[in-house]
Amino acid sequence: MDYLQGLNPQQRGAVEQTKGPVMIIAGAGSGKTRVITYRVAHLIRSGVDAFNILVLTFTNKAAKEMRNRITDVVGLEAKNIWMGTFHSVFAKILRVEAEKLGYPSNFTIYDTDDSKSVLKAVLKELNLDDKLYNPNFVYNRISAAKNNLVAWQEYQQNDQIQADDFQSGRGQIGKVYEMYVQRCYRAGAMDFDDLLFKTNELLKLYPDVLYKYQNKFKYLMVDEYQDTNFSQYLIVKKLASINENICVVGDDAQSIYAFRGANIQNILNFEKDYPDLHVFKLEQNYRSTQNIVNVANSIISNNKEQLKKNVFSEKDHGDKIKVNRAFSDNEEGKTVAESIMQERTTSGLKWNDFAILYRTNAQSRSMEEALRKLNIPYKIYGGLSFYQRKEIKDLIAYFRLTFNPNDEEALKRVINYPRRGIGDTTVDRVILSAGQNNITLWEVILEPAKYLDGRSAGSVGVFSTLIQSFQVITKTLSAYDAALHIAQHSGLLKDLYEDKSVEGLNRYENIQELLNGIKEFSEREDIEERGLDIFMQDVALLTNDDNDKNPNADTVSLMTIHSSKGLEFPQVYVVGLEENLFPSQMSLNSRSDLEEERRLFYVAVTRAEYKLNISYATSRFKFGTLINCEPSRFLDEIDPQYLELDFKAKQKNDNPFFNDERTAWSRNSNNGNNDTFSKPKPPAAVKTTSLLAKAHVPSAGFAPSDTNNLQVGMEVEHERFGFGKVINLEGKKPDVKATIFFKEIGQKQLLLKFAKLRIV
């Protein structure tokens, strides 16, 4: 039991309470992963069969990390635990049980692009305007329905849903939903939401199947429970209903995925489902300094809906949190970049010790430009993942078609790539013939002479023979050898090799990298099934959080706050703390939306280990127009004793985040739980553009001087800040910092080697 010795009392209590319902409220940086892994290890050490333990996570990365840690304690028995994401675990169950629902066991899992492609075809068939029926909107509408277990039949029969659709001018969404489901079914495909929707359907329609898995999974653990949606909640509740040995782990203060359907009420009301609940609060933060923890606590204390906890840190108090005010988003980027350069120079940190977090992807532009000017290496996370690149999707489409020839999206993608004389007209004829004869596209392709004219039939016949040959070889070859054979004989590898452009070379190298990954997969010893079809399932179930997170790359990390969840960095810069940006304008309609934005800010703050910087701009470009910005209300919610401002309030009682030309936002209570927030009209004398009007125009022929001999008392000119006087110099060359009082904007501290000053 030596693994228990390093746990604090609350952690140990949560690990040792193995019977009955348990809720572990895990504050940020409180050792949550350690508790989950040791609890599972403790179950096995206590005699529980690993085959009877189900652990559900939200990323494959988290599941892999937990399994490795459990292996360190209990050995290879950890291989037998059912552990993975909700979607991967229930996809595995559906592979076994899918035929009960009319699906083949080798059903395809459609990604978002596949689903939207099907929807576009349906919209075209129904002659619906794709501007009004935007595929993204329709996809999200159907996804939300599935996550709330609303089938297309119920969707069409629900008066409120229909009224909403007709009011928005989209009264045919119910019909689109019906045809979309039928197309997927005909193709032997499930989309990502179906993996949960169909599991619920399976457990509801087949009591024997429910009973089977209730008795198999005698112990359930759910990580990040605050992020579960209604569909996930119901599956877990059903599976745990006999034994009630269920343990959920989460932090309501980090519930930030309502837009994905996550329901914070699942964790807030957990005790109502299990009155005999054992609750453990992990309140010691091992990640951050006490000042950072104090800021986080003062932020989240403003939320009404929460499970109370007192998070603390036994680390040093650390630096106060620095708040920077910039005149523009470009200046904000420049300030952040210069700060990172200075901190790295003076503290000996690596580039990957720094992260810049923002509310929206669009904010990365000003940050990128500033980092590039200083030659600071950076990487943006959350962009196009490896498996979403065209060449990768093309080859995987061949794999998909090999195992499921009814997969219409895969078929349409590769039937004429590389080019083999099957044009759009022929493809349209194949689709038309399938529709007229109520058969699949593949059935048409198997007998092309029956449905197509001579030349087209010949080309299509060659293609069908090719796919059938792939079906034969995959039964005898390893995953890697089968993949290589398909890449070569499909003509895809040759086509990319012959493209000698830089882009072509990159695409060819990406295919080689995919094949390398399959080679590694086919040689793994920690899994029983290593076929190409299993590899494809793993790829289909990758989450955004599993992609492009290389902690060893020595680059500054740029990402949205949503993407940062679960990560930590020694120094963090949270940028864009402005009204209508953070909190977002869309969140100002209800208390619940605003509280989620506040939780998002809490997540951002708690990513920092030692230093936290917060900044906002008083003007920002939006859709090509320069707009004035108000500081975020969240800044005003932070206890000022934990902050260091790089500017001063004009009067003692002023709100430091609003200068004398700004006006605070009013909060108008609207009975009950919903609050509305509106900006009062400014008095007539307010000059909302005065900061821009005072922008400094550099002197004619402005050129930076050599500042090696700069002295206190000298007059200088800065190309943006204007004229000022040096009032202090500190530090050693080449990292001398000058404190300068500028006539127009007041006092600023600049690193001389970057400041570009002209000595007057």
Asked about 402 being catalytic, the answer comes back as no
> Among 371, 307, 275, which residue's Cα sits nearest to residue 575?
371
Q: How many CA atoms lie within 13 A of 637 on its CB side?
A: 19
The reply, when asked if residue 63 is annotated as ligand binding, is no
> Among 111, 120, 108, 126, which residue's Cα sits nearest to residue 187?
108
d(CA 533, CA 343): 49
* Per-residue exposure over 529-552, b if at least 16 CB sit within 10 Å of its own CB, e if not: ebbbbbbbbbbbbbbebbbbbeee
Residues 6 or more apart whose CB falls under 8 angstroms from that of 440 comprise 186, 187, 406, 408, 434
The reply, when asked if residue 504 is annotated as ligand binding, is no
d(CA 485, CA 465): 15
The reply, when asked if residue 33 is annotated as ligand binding, is yes
Degrees to nearest 5, angle at CA 188 with 183 and 189: 75
d(CA 326, CA 637): 20
> Among 165, 173, 185, which residue's Cα sits nearest to residue 126?
173
Task: Detail the DSSP E strand segments found in 362-508.
Answer: 378-380
Task: Detail the DSSP E strand segments found in 623-756.
Answer: 625-628, 643-645, 666-669, 675-678, 715-718, 722-730, 737-742, 746-751
Among the listed residues 315, 607, 611, 758, the single catalytic one is 607
β-bridge partners, 643: 321
> Among 89, 83, 80, which residue's Cα sits nearest to residue 199?
89
Asked about 732 being catalytic, the answer comes back as no
Asked about 388 being catalytic, the answer comes back as no
Asked about 607 being catalytic, the answer comes back as yes
* 540 DSSP 8-state letter: H
d(CA 691, CA 617): 12
Among the listed residues 232, 254, 284, 560, the single catalytic one is 254
Number of neighbours of residue 67 by Cβ within 10 angstroms: 20
Among the listed residues 114, 223, 394, 408, the single catalytic one is 223
Among the listed residues 32, 218, 309, 507, the single catalytic one is 32
The token duo for 128 is: 């619906």
* 355 DSSP 8-state letter: E
d(CA 667, CA 680): 10
The reply, when asked if residue 29 is annotated as ligand binding, is yes
The reply, when asked if residue 28 is annotated as ligand binding, is yes
d(CA 508, CA 685): 63
Strands 619-622 and 625-628: antiparallel
> What string of H, E and C letters represents the secondary structure of 165-179?
HHHCCCCCHHHHHHH
The reply, when asked if residue 27 is annotated as ligand binding, is yes
d(CA 688, CA 519): 62
Helices (H), 83-217: 86-97, 112-125, 135-147, 152-157, 159-167, 173-186, 194-205, 207-216
Asked about 428 being catalytic, the answer comes back as no
Helical pair 135-147 and 230-240, crossing angle rounded to 10 deg: 20
- Burial grade of 300 (CB within 10 A; 0-12, 13-18, 19 or more): buried
Strands 715-718 and 757-759: antiparallel
Among the listed residues 16, 17, 18, 33, the single catalytic one is 33
Asked about 254 being catalytic, the answer comes back as yes
The token duo for 558 is: 């740029």
List residues forming the annotated binding site for ATP: 26-33
Residues belonging to the active site: 32-33, 223-224, 254, 607
User: What residues are designated binding site?
Assistant: 26-33
